[in-house]
Structure 1
Amino acid sequence: MTTSIVINAESGTARQHGAAALRDLIHTAAAKAGQPDVDVQMVAPAQLPRALAAAAQGSTEIWVGGGDGTLRSAAELAMKRDIVLGVLPLGTMNLLARDLNIPLEIENAVAALCASTVAAIDVGRVNQSLFLNKSALGLYPEMVVDRERRRRLFGLNKWPAMIRSAWRAVRRHRMMEITIDHHGQRSEILSPAIVVAVGSYEFNAGRLFNRSDLQSGELTIYVSHEKTWLGSASQLAKLFLGTLQNDPSLQVIKAHSLNIDFRRTKPVANDGEIDMLKGPIRYAVAPKALKVRIPVEPAAS
């Protein structure tokens, strides 16, 4: 049976290789791994919803390569159609691919997916929107909004723009007045940053937002109680160093669902994609809702 592979033609890896070269690379890697019957489509972002729907029609699985928005759309479709999702690491951070132990080199990733098994993993919901790794309020969405502004106005690449935006957001250090309801408890909190994760993070040096358990059936809410920009800068440094779990100003909450209320509309970063939401917003975990391909053994990159 033919495996449909849909690639966001504007993803960083696709542009780096070039459409034709990447298509040939995937075909060659799949044939070498004993799966020569693949249909690789390089699709412009505006055409992705239609291409994904067409690829899923009558299929039991689709493989998808792209960034956060591409994977969210594909995951939503896979859950709706009850089909399997294969993840190719063609985005910037490739958080889901890393969590699934999929190699980051494209040839090895294809080989790993060809020799993989199927498992069901948890996903998160914020109101009706899906997120696969995290949903964030405060500093992180401020960084993302400013990063995209800088890329649009000044033509900066993603990481240089993000570094400048992170510095600006931390120095401004806007505090949020929010209310969190969970387990029948209501807490009023003043915080610069909140992250709601599907599962929980293992804080390791050089590995951001790393998860090992994708079937915990829980959300983990990380709440910063830092009151100064220097304190938040210190927390960011600890995040990169893998020592954030020891920070006394970080509150960790476990819940299956919760409500977060706030005044005014706020940007919320769902897997790096910005949604403008009004409070209150409701978070919930959907246990084992998404079927994905997981390598039998992590292949070397």
Structure 2
Amino acid sequence: MTATAAPHDATFFIALNAGSGHSETDERRSTIETVMRDAGRRFELTMIDQPDTIDEIATRLAKQAADSGGVLVAAGGDGTINAVARQAVAHGCKFGVLPQGTFNYFGRTHGIPEDLTEAVHALLASRVHAVQVGVINDRVFLVNASIGLYPNMLEAREADKQQFGRSRLVAVFSAFKTLLRPHRRLRLALNIDGKPRHLRTATFFVGNNRLQMEQIGIPPLSDALEDGRLAAVAPRTKGKFGMLWLMLHGALGRMGRLNQADELTTFSFKRVEVKVRSLSRRRQVKVATDGEITMMSNPLEIHVMDEQLLLLKPDPKPADVD
């Protein structure tokens, strides 16, 4: 799909995650409203004060955007962006992002500034680009989906952020702490684009974000995301110190320097079925999608969605164009 300009008279329906800080939220709201009004653009801003209201609010705003030819906008972290994007895809409306999370992989991948004032200005000047969406058991993901150790790390990270504050440093130390605890390796039966395969790993990670895959350090998988495929990574390392070493390289963007044949199983795909055989009688699997934890039925079906997300994002700068 060729990038197209959004109508100048389109209304922006903005869902702003209130987060944990009242004064910070007020400042964010004021920033968005000021830039929008100064630019003479029409908008409606709705606060998400309770996490359990996000789906209801996103659905209502998406319907309004679709009916009026407007733009649905998510202001928050990757989890908030995922929840609002689900409704943008379901209603076929245009979608914008104002990144406000810890890592902001989705926004950074698409050249959207992390500074809020700059992000609002960029949104107003953006054009519509079609963006690939991943699906796991009917739940969409824009950045990644995973099972095993990674969801446990995310749960621990969220608890530590509540206690010590939201920062990337807290996230890294929380991950190391989780890795030092006992964890079970998964026994997986895979069907990859019709081909069977078995795998034992501590975590099974599926990427749909070029920036994150580049930081992991596996360029061929990064390129696969531009070719309508998803990228799978599963560490083979058994010991705790081996996992720590693997994660350290990944955090520093140096995993590609490891001997991948020995340390990682990697492949790209359009569709994969993942059956977790190490769950005994349990039929539910803990799954992380863009940082949010849910329980899903086993086996898991993961594929690229036929529909694409109609994302408003800045055109690449001339220096960034290949």
- TM-score normalised by the chain length of structure 2: 0.81
Aligned partner of 1:238 in structure 2 is 249
Per the alignment, do residues 211 and 30 of structure 1 end up closer, same or farther by CA in structure 2, a change over 3 Å counting?
Answer: farther
Find out whether 1:40 has 2:38 as its counterpart. Answer: no
> Measured at CA, do residues 199 and 41 of structure 1 come closer, stay the same or move farther in structure 2, by a change above 3 Å?
closer
Q: For 1:113-124, what aligned pairs fall within 5 Å after superposition? A: 113-124=123-134
Equivalences for 1:64-143 in 2 at 5 Å?
64-143=74-153
Post-superposition Cα deviations, 1:250-294, rounded to whole Å, max 9, x if no partner, equal 121111000111132432111111112342111001155111101
* Regions of 4+ moved over 3 Å: 147-152, 158-165, 199-202, 210-215
- Alignment RMSD, CA only? 2.7
Map of 1:29 onto structure 2 = 35
Give the Cα separation in 2 of the matches to 1:137 and 1:205. 17
Matches within 5 A, 1:50-65: 50-56=56-62, 57=64, 58-60=67-69, 61-65=71-75
Change (3 A) 1:77 1:185: same
TM-score of the aligned structures, taking structure 1 as reference length: 0.86
CA contact (8 A) 2:224 2:268 kept: no
SS in 1 for 2:13: strand
Residue 44 of structure 1 deviates from its aligned partner by 1.2
- Partners of 1:151 and 1:37 in 2: CA distance: 35
Distance 2:100 2:301 in 1: 31
Letter in 1 for 2:146: A
C-alpha distance after superposition, 1:9-28 (max 9, x if no partner):
12x6x745232x32221122
CA deviations on 1:71-109 (whole Å, 9 max, x unpaired) are 222111111111011001122221111111000000000
Matches of 2:205 and 2:68, distance apart in 1? 35
Structure 1 residue matching 2:111: 3-state secondary structure: coil
> What SS is found at the alignment partner of 2:214?
strand
What is the letter of the counterpart of residue 266 of structure 1? V
Offset of 1:162 from its aligned partner? 3.8
Q: Find out whether 1:8 has 2:17 as its counterpart.
A: yes
For the Cα contact (< 8 Å) 1:99–1:212, is it kept in 2? no
The one of 268, 284, 293 equivalent to 2:287 is: 268
TM-aligned CA deviation for residue 151 of structure 1: 5.7
Query: Residue 203 of structure 1: SS of its match in structure 2?
Result: helix
Partner of 1:167: 176
State the Cα distance separating 1:215 from its structure 2 match.
4.5
The CA distance in 1 between the partners of 2:229 and 2:78, in whole Å, is: 21
Are 1:157 and 2:168 matched, yes or no?
A: no
- SS of the equivalent of 1:104 reads coil
Structure 1 segment 219-234 matched on structure 2, within 5 A? 219-234=230-245
Tell me the alpha carbon deviations over residues 16-53 of structure 1, each in whole angstroms, 9 at most, x when there is no partner: 5232x322211222344x34322222231333333323
Q: Secondary structure at the match of 2:238?
A: coil
Percent of aligned pairs with the same amino acid = 26
CA contact (8 A) 1:113 1:293 kept: yes
The farther-off stretch of 250-259 and 239-248 is: 239-248
Instruction: Pick closer, same or farther for the CA change 1:168–1:188 going to 2, 3 Å.
Output: same
Q: Tell me which amino acid in the other structure corresponds to 1:243.
A: R
Deviation at 1:202, TM superposition (A): 4.3
Q: Output the amino acid matched with 2:49.
A: A
What is the Cα deviation at residue 179 of structure 1?
1.5
Aligned residue pairs total 290
User: How far off is 1:150 after superposition?
Assistant: 4.9
Going from structure 1 to structure 2, the CA distance change for 1:127 and 1:253 (only over 3 Å counts) comes to: same
Residues 62 and 278 of structure 1: is their aligned pair in 2 closer, same or farther, counting only changes over 3 Å?
Answer: closer
More strand per residue: 1 or 2?
1
Tell me how far apart the structure 2 counterparts of residues 24 and 149 of structure 1 sit (CA, whole Å): 29
How far apart in 1 are the matches of 2:224 and 2:46? 32
Q: Please report how far the alpha carbon of residue 6 of structure 1 lies from its aligned counterpart in structure 2 after TM superposition.
A: 1.6
Q: CA deviation at 1:121?
A: 0.6
Gapped regions of structure 1 (runs ≥ 5): none
How far 1:149 sits from its partner (Å)? 4.5
